[in-house]
Amino acid sequence: MKKYDVAIIGAGAAGLAAAGRAVARGRSVVIFDMGETPARKVAAAGGGRCNFTNMAAARDKYFGGNPDFVRGALARVTPADILQWVEGHGLQAIEKAPGQLFCRSGGADIVASLMSDAMGARIITNATIDNSKFKDGNFIITSNNIEFSATSLIVATGGISFASLGVSDAGYKIAKDFGHKIIPPRPALCAIDTKTFPTQWAGISIPVHITANGRNINGDMLFTHFGIGGPAVYSASVAPATSEIRINLMPGINMDEWLREMKRSAGRKSLFTILSEHMPKQIARYFAGEPRNMADFRDTDLINIAQRINSIVIPAGQWRHHGMAAAEVTFGGVDTCDISSKTMESKIQPGLFFAGEVMDIIGDLGGYNLHWAWASGRIAGENA
């Protein structure tokens, strides 16, 4: 039986970040990954450009049963630290949106940098984790019918979203075997199924303001044949399906006041013409109804139309997350109440660590999840 200092389950962002730190400390490391190649999600992130961090990474960008869990890790591993790491590997960052840092040459170079840091670790791909147990002071991991021994075990298997990239629920099973509670996983950062909008709007994208579960979100929304998507909706999908969603199709404009002003100053124009100056014609035609000049509308009619545009309500029960297969992250996972936020070590089983999305922590859209992977992975690797 081959013995290592550290065994890591999962060769994604968190697992490789942990491996790099452990190798730098002179630890012998073995990494098991269930897919053919390491860091597949890293390579695909940000459309292949890898949104590797966000300068706004802070407690309010993270969600889960106990979002305060991230505070220590974010203080110890900052966006500036990750930017320094990227530049230290000879890569250049570009800022596509305020705070969102991407790799100029692409995600493949981020993966290559992670692999460089982990050089010396043994990586076993297409691995199955048949069994894991703690015996005589060591973790015994059985993979593909071969036993491996390690003093410490880091679980960094990620979530179970995006099945096409070869995800696994092995991390949840290992955690449960050692007595950890699993918060039931569900999709997040995904599209939403709802029949609120006409299917004829599919393919149209507009800037909106969304209120969901107490959060205010601004961004683009895409109408789809099954509901809505786009960046604003992805952020809103962090909310549970028991929440009400409110959408303002004309953020920044008080439609009530504006429409009544248009009635006074442009009474001969049709409502359709007025609306189409600020929204796609197909949507304007829907709200305008039959052709009528502004002067022909009663103020109460305009108030009603304004309400329908500025405050569309999708009640709880009339929407659902589109599905795990296309979700960017998994909400839920290993309950953080039994994990040390300082070391990422289990409070139940000494020597067992967790890193990344396998825990009940997710970040908002925009590089926050990769930052959490780097931060938690580094800390686990420094302590294992």
Domain ranges of the chain: 2-186+333-383, 191-322
> In this prediction, what percent of the chain has a pLDDT beyond 70?
99
Q: pLDDT tens digits, residue range 201-236? A: 999 999 999 999 999 999 999 999 999 999 999 999
Average pLDDT over residues 324-338: 95
Which H or E element spans position 102?
strand 100-103
- How many Å apart are CA 74 and CA 59, to the nearest integer? 8
Q: By the 8 A CB rule, do 250 and 321 touch?
A: no
- How many Å apart are CA 235 and CA 363, to the nearest integer? 9
Query: Would the pTM count as exceeding 0.75?
Result: yes
Is the pLDDT at 50 greater than 90? The verdict is: yes
Residue 87: strand, helix, or coil:
helix
Q: pLDDT tens digits, residue range 282-308? A: 999 999 999 999 999 999 999 999 999
CATH of 191-322, one of 1.10.150.250, 1.10.10.10, 1.10.357.10, 1.10.8.260: 1.10.8.260
Tokens, residue 99? 């705070």
Nearest 10 degrees: Cα torsion 327, 328, 332, 333: 110
Q: What pLDDT score was predicted for residue 168? A: 79
Is the pLDDT at 166 greater than 90? The verdict is: no
Sheet holding 192-193, edge to edge: 312-314, 245-248, 205-212, 215-223, 227-229, 192-193, 320-321
- How many Å apart are CA 279 and CA 373, to the nearest integer? 39
Backbone angles phi, psi at 323, to 5 degrees: 150, 155
Q: pLDDT tens digits, residue range 68-119? A: 999 999 999 999 999 999 999 999 999 999 999 999 999 999 999 999 999 9
- How many Å apart are CA 50 and CA 37, to the nearest integer? 17
Q: By the 8 A CB rule, do 71 and 165 touch?
A: no
Q: What is the mean pLDDT of the chain?
A: 96
CATH of 2-186+333-383, one of 3.30.2130.10, 3.50.50.60, 3.40.640.10, 2.60.40.1150: 3.50.50.60
